């Protein structure tokens, strides 16, 4: 595939999702491996940009404290030493039309933006495994949280993240699946329901309370 894409002049994205708690072990070891495979995607696989996605072996999500810490450190390390274009992808545990899903997504957007990533790709709500449990509203919070974060002092960002992650990380086992696309949107008009807009507003208020100027 890569041989054909290269000959065709296509833009090539190389994707890789290191598993925290798998063969690589803890956060530091997984981060070292993540840096190594990020570099390999450019030097061995002719990638033009890299899509990361450190994922938690127990919960299958990218929004856990440990996986955000890996993503934040790896991006900062690559960013401080190269001009490579790096991205991250989103797998929150909670589903659409829930505050938890929006807060998880915002936490990763804040992390990715403040650690120097160039592209945020998402979001596969409800761990990306439930059919039709993804909507544009999750991308809205990802974008708005990124805009609110860009330019903020990193020490302030870390304080916000500490409060934000602490607010949801005890709830993985009982995370709400949320609602599917047909329940979240008027399918014909492609507009979100009043209920989802109200959930969104409540999540924004929570983020503002944590110190993020939305």
Partner 1 sequence: MAASRPVNIFETYERSLKGPKVVEKDFDYNILPTNLMKIKQKYNIKFGKEIIPEDKELMNNLFLAGMEMLVTTGMYNADTQKIIRLTEEEVMEGIKKTPKNLVLGEGRDAARFDPRHGNEARKPIIQGGPTGAPVSEDIFIQVMQSYAQEAVVDTLVNGVMNTIEGHPAKTNTPWEIRATMAELRAVREARIRAGRPFMGI
What is the nearest approach in angstroms of partner 1 to the Cβ of residue 98? 16
- Phi and psi at 74, nearest 5°, equal -65, -45
Residue 35: CB minimum distance to partner 1, A: 2
CB-nearer residue toward partner 1: 3 or 173: 3
Out of 94, 101, 104, 122, the only residue in the binding site for partner 1 (CB under 8 A) is: 122
Tokens matching residue 196: 């989802």
The yes or no reply on residue 181 touching partner 1 (CB under 8 A) is yes
Is 158 a binder of partner 1 (CB under 8 A)? yes
d(CA 19, CA 39): 17
CA distances to 3, 16, 59, 176 from 173, rounded to whole Å, are: 43, 26, 8, 9
| Residue 173 beta carbon to partner 1: minimum distance, rounded to whole angstroms | 21
**Contact call for residue 40 and partner 1 (CB under 8 A):** yes
130 binds partner 1 (CB under 8 A): yes
Pick one of 8, 9, 131, 170: the residue that binds partner 1 (CB under 8 A).
131
Q: What is the bridge-based pairing of β-strands 86-89 and 49-52?
A: parallel
Residue closer to partner 1 (CB basis): 137 or 199: 137
- Residue 38 CB contacts under 8 Å (≥ 6 apart), including other chains: 16, 50, 52, 74, 78, 84, 86
Q: How far is the CB of 200 from partner 1 (least distance, A)?
A: 12
| Range in contact with partner 1 (rule: CB under 8 A) among 34-42, 98-106, 166-174, 199-207 | 34-42
How many binding residues for partner 1 (CB under 8 A)?
99
Bridge partner list, 89: 121
Total residue count of the chain as it appears in this document? 214
Angle at 105 between CA 206 and CA 140, to 5 degrees: 85
- Minimum Å gap between C-beta 53 and partner 1 is 9
- Which residues have CB under 8 Å from 192's CB, separation 6+? 135, 136, 137, 184, 185, 200
The interface mask with partner 1, positions 65-104, x = CB under 8 A, is: x--xx--xxx-xxxxxxxxxx-x-xxx-------------
- Position 57 contacts partner 1 (CB under 8 A): no
Report the residue from 8, 155, 170, 213 that binds partner 1 according to the rule CB under 8 A.
Answer: 155
Report the SS3 class of residue 58: coil
């Amino acid at each position: 595939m890569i041989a054909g894409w290269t000959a065709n002049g296509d833009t090539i994205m190389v994707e890789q999702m290191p598993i925290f708690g798998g063969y690589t072990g803890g956060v530091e070891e997984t981060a070292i491996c993540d840096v190594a495979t990020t570099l390999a995607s450019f030097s061995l696989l002719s990638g033009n940009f890299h899509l990361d996605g450190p994922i938690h072996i127990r919960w299958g999500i990218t929004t856990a404290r440990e996986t955000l810490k890996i993503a934040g450190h790896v991006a900062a390390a690559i960013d401080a030493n190269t001009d490579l274009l790096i991205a991250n992808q989103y797998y929150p545990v909670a589903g659409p039309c829930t505050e938890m899903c929006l807060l998880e997504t915002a936490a990763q957007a804040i992390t990715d933006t403040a650690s120097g990533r160039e592209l945020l790709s998402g979001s596969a709500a409800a761990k990306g495994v439930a059919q039709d449990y993804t909507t544009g509203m999750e991308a809205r919070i990802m974008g708005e949280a990124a805009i609110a974060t860009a330019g903020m002092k990193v020490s302030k960002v870390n304080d916000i993240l500490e409060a934000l992650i602490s607010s949801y990380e005890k709830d993985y086992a009982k995370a709400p699946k949320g609602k599917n696309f047909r329940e979240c949107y008027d399918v014909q008009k492609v507009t979100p329901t009043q209920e989802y807009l109200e959930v969104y507003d409540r999540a924004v208020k929570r983020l503002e309370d944590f110190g993020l100027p939305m």
